[in-house]
Structure 1
């Protein structure tokens, strides 16, 4: 395992220390510092930028050839960190502790060390890992948002105002779909001038804003949480697969959501995000797609097709089919037969 000592702050000095440990160099452009991993260390990069008010962001997009441990050991209060695992996995422990906490893909962690104790980040070898880290100097930051801090959840208010680091803090959970999209925008933004700095600062603050909203949402009962987490997209995809495979025997949306362990609002949000429609619209589209297949590939009569797609009314089926395709089911079948013969 390769161990790297980072003994400096702020972020540009962090990049400098890592570059020195790798025997490499780094680039600077408009306050953004970028380090490409040397070929003997791995593939990818580490980059960071500081904004006004003690706020900054680090991005690790790395595949290391050996296990790498970055040890942040500075003889001063360490920044409050919001860690987001966008790909791969990351392990974290406090400098004065033994417990190693793993942050998996689609998970985030809020970490604050006590006194001058540092943070240890562990990257697994040969694992494509992408980490976003919001870094906040609480003493500087609270001067900027002192009034607004009063509206935070009590635990967060204590965390943000603890600029002397009298308490250790660790909190993890699945981050929201919207936060995932914000990091994707950062990754895809290519402008390299003044506009980029403004954009990055705006995105970083928006990530922080949505993390605070999510923290409040996390403290609601699971059935009352409104934010869709990135990890819950698989549940939405399972719901879509369930619909496709059991059109003639579907449960209600409420029952389906309960069986899948997700609330109805988040299920609807997931369908709009993935498929651009509500659950009912998705069901109807799947039914009509299946009806088209049965009309062209089988000799089932209309009543049999209506039953197989999970409807009970021929007239309703004809109505929605014509609304969708501007032609009746019978005419659609007749025209298809003419084309094929």
Structure 2
């Protein structure tokens, strides 16, 4: 079977809608336009999915992509008057970015964000792989048009960000990558899943775009701290915390202390504790205790084990302590609950 040839597209880069319009022209397909929204459906011979642009006032736009390609796609964002400032959030599979005149290739992984701008003579090149789901969300900022609004954001920025946002002629190249926060992930989901219509939808989406931008600025500043001093929970960190939860559930009889658990999933203990408080409203130890009680209840209902065996199986050494916390939780002793469960099963 012959190797599939890569497809290369050259598209405009002034505002988000230019990308949709130029891609539609290059692919010989139509795009849908509805007020300030522009949507391109990927043709079946290339893949499936869509690319959608939403344009707001003051030079702010959003580009959403959600597609699967049959063959690799390269596209170059040619200069307009000035390349917009881009803040890209990768929600799915990795792809690469390169400045046309540079040799360095940047891989943008899942749950990573990139803030980048380029000079007018140095275009962006993105290489999108085939046969993997691509899902991105990008805020596109025309800094010439955004200049009047920038004053309302200045107090949230440091000197580097102020210089970047005030570079309205795009004379400096910039590239910054890190993981993005759980809050930003939630706001992006609220944007992409909005079910409002007309004027209400437009106002909601514009407000959400600014909410994402403000939170990204706060995260950029938070990223300047050492990991143990950061206050914002990264989206990628959530996966580590969920991994810790699975370890707790699978190894409840022998689960180790917070320090060992944190080391196993690759985060520091403070991050693990903060993550559990954010996601589960409890400390790690409280979560472990609660799961032990829930697991004991399940075993009382479904197994033939006695109280001592259940106590051992959930990692509690004291039968009296187990009885105490079980009764505090369910208002009945384990013995009484076991008797009731087995009577119900035999009835």
Aligned runs of 1:46-61 on 2, under 5 Å?
Answer: 46-61=51-66
Worse-matched range after superposition: 110-119 or 143-152 = 143-152
- Between the aligned partners of 1:291 and 1:75, the Cα distance in structure 2 is 65
Q: Residue in 2 aligned with 1:233? A: 238
Distance 1:285 1:61, change over 3 A: same
Aligned to 2:63, the other structure's residue is in SS state: strand
Worse-matched range after superposition: 309-318 or 54-63 = 309-318
- Alpha-carbon RMSD across the aligned residues, in angstroms, is 2.3
- Between the aligned partners of 2:292 and 2:137, the Cα distance in structure 1 is 42
Q: Residue in 1 aligned with 2:285? A: 280
Question: Structure 2 regions of 5+ residues with no counterpart?
Answer: 1-5
The correspondence for 1:81, drawn from 81, 86, 89, is 86
TM-score normalised by the chain length of structure 1: 0.91
Shift of 1:306: 3.6
Describe the superposition over 1:141-169 as per-residue Cα deviations: whole angstroms up to 9, x where unpaired. Answer: 12212253254122212211122222211
The correspondence for 1:134, drawn from 132, 139, 146, is 139
Question: Structure 1 regions of 5+ residues with no counterpart?
Answer: none
Q: Residue in 1 aligned with 2:206? A: 201
Distance 1:169 1:265, change over 3 A: same
Describe the superposition over 1:202-257 as per-residue Cα deviations: whole angstroms up to 9, x where unpaired. Answer: 11111111111111111111112222222122211221122224434444335533
- Between the aligned partners of 1:307 and 1:14, the Cα distance in structure 2 is 61
Describe the superposition over 1:108-148 as per-residue Cα deviations: whole angstroms up to 9, x where unpaired. Answer: 11111124322112211222101111111112212212253
Worse-matched range after superposition: 274-283 or 58-67 = 274-283
Distance 1:313 1:191, change over 3 A: same
- Between the aligned partners of 1:73 and 1:281, the Cα distance in structure 2 is 54
Tell me, yes or no, if structure 1 residue 99 matches structure 2 residue 104. yes
- Between the aligned partners of 2:153 and 2:80, the Cα distance in structure 1 is 30
- Between the aligned partners of 1:146 and 1:277, the Cα distance in structure 2 is 40
- Between the aligned partners of 1:231 and 1:112, the Cα distance in structure 2 is 24
Q: Residue in 2 aligned with 1:114? A: 119
Tell me, yes or no, if structure 1 residue 318 matches structure 2 residue 311. no
The correspondence for 1:155, drawn from 155, 160, 166, is 160
Worse-matched range after superposition: 264-273 or 116-125 = 264-273
CA contact (8 A) 1:179 1:207 kept: yes
Distance 1:186 1:151, change over 3 A: closer
Worse-matched range after superposition: 234-243 or 129-138 = 234-243
Aligned to 2:29, the other structure's residue is in SS state: coil
Aligned to 1:110, the other structure's residue is in SS state: strand
Tell me, yes or no, if structure 1 residue 20 matches structure 2 residue 25. yes
Q: Residue in 2 aligned with 1:291? A: 296
- Between the aligned partners of 1:289 and 1:94, the Cα distance in structure 2 is 54
CA contact (8 A) 2:66 2:136 kept: yes
Tell me, yes or no, if structure 1 residue 257 matches structure 2 residue 262. yes
Distance 1:195 1:338, change over 3 A: same
Q: Residue in 2 aligned with 1:210? A: 215
- Between the aligned partners of 1:155 and 1:8, the Cα distance in structure 2 is 24
Aligned to 1:129, the other structure's residue is in SS state: strand
Tell me, yes or no, if structure 1 residue 11 matches structure 2 residue 6. no
- Between the aligned partners of 2:248 and 2:132, the Cα distance in structure 1 is 35
- Between the aligned partners of 1:241 and 1:224, the Cα distance in structure 2 is 26
